Structure 1
């Protein structure tokens, strides 16, 4: 089972909810034909964050959303036009080892997402600590929880209620160096979000647009 995270930018003055709700019937056909599962699309303003899974190693979001790609900005940096840019897996509580092991047992669980900004000079440190945590304490949170990174922006996908389950594998590290004060160790890595109520949240929950 392969897990996919992508980021995109919607054009200005688009009604995101209407656009993707109208695109949903054809998207559902595409997901079935291409083998994509658990697809969830979230947004923050005009920014889009996409998650899906597949037993197929290469499921291109451009094929899934070909019928509505004109609503998305072209992302520079490649010789061919692209609307979706991949995000990098930098942390996961569990890894899929088989399709059977990865099946959801709670059909009522809902996709849940948050985003956060890292200070550019703290990205390497954040990745280091999270790899250490991931491999020292596999299964220490939601089975489907995963953090993906693009530039210094992180997308944390998880499901609610969380699935807490002992993994069927051991981590790659036999050390025990994960900091006991995890929150305190992580806090200096972030650029807090501005908030009108005077609070400065680190992780910002973002709304779900569609599921397929």
Structure 2
């Protein structure tokens, strides 16, 4: 039986840029929890990236949704709390605004070989252009013709974008038809993408900054 795939993105914040042995030991517990859930077939991928005290979590749940606490609970005392609609939370949900493929089934989404690299990046959007960015990327998804990495996903929280993708890339588009050219990407390029981003130190002139990972795991 093929099961659904749920792609999840969350943002966290360490208390006072928490670091040291306690953080290392806590992250090791989270990593082992994720490894166990991958072995059990409940997760397909789990990756945690950081930028200073900011944390960016991406995972793929198999069959049913997985709560962050099920494998990230050891981080509970180390994280600032986010005021959410349902109360205070360790992790703020990020909202998916871009992708190149929709998982059709567990079988469809399973990697034939493990990727060489699971990458995480962030970008800061200018507030005045933030929703124009979202508008164009939703339009590209709806058209479904722009090819890119099958496993790429970009999510938004406040004015921060978090992008996950894998290398080498598995080229695909939402329509799963590479014979046609995207017109929606031309409209995005016409409004000058660079005008939508706040330059980040260390990004070497790129819109997105690559992040180091605390762990990046998968089947």
Class of the TM-score when normalised by the shorter of the 2 chains:
0.7 to 0.9
Runs of at least 5 residues in structure 2 that lack an aligned partner in the other structure: none
Q: Which has the higher strand share?
A: 2
Question: Are 2:105 and 1:101 aligned?
Answer: no
Q: Pick from 7, 11, 14: which aligns with 1:7?
A: 11
Q: How many residues align?
A: 208
Over 3 Å counting, the alpha-carbon distance change for 1:166 and 1:186 in structure 2 is closer
Over 3 Å counting, the alpha-carbon distance change for 1:121 and 1:45 in structure 2 is same
Distance 2:64 2:127 in 1: 31
Q: Counterparts of 1:158-197 in structure 2 under 5 Å?
A: 158-165=165-172, 169=176, 176-179=183-186, 182=189, 185-195=192-202
- 2:9–2:56 contact (8 Å) kept in structure 1: yes
Q: 2:118 corresponds to which residue?
A: 111
Report the Cα offset of residue 35 of structure 1: 1.5
Secondary structure, aligned partner of 1:76? strand
Q: Pick from 83, 88, 92: which aligns with 2:90?
A: 83
Distance 1:141 1:192 in 2: 24
Runs of at least 5 residues in structure 1 that lack an aligned partner in the other structure: none
Distance 1:181 1:167 in 2: 17
Q: Pick from 139, 147, 172: which aligns with 2:154?
A: 147
TM-score by length of 1: 0.84
Distance 1:20 1:164 in 2: 32
Report the Cα offset of residue 165 of structure 1: 3.5
**Please, what is the CA RMSD of the aligned residues?**
2.8
TM-score by length of 2: 0.82
Q: 1:63 corresponds to which residue?
A: 70
Distance 2:146 2:42 in 1: 26
Q: 2:211 corresponds to which residue?
A: 206
- 2:43–2:60 contact (8 Å) kept in structure 1: yes
Report the Cα offset of residue 34 of structure 1: 8.3
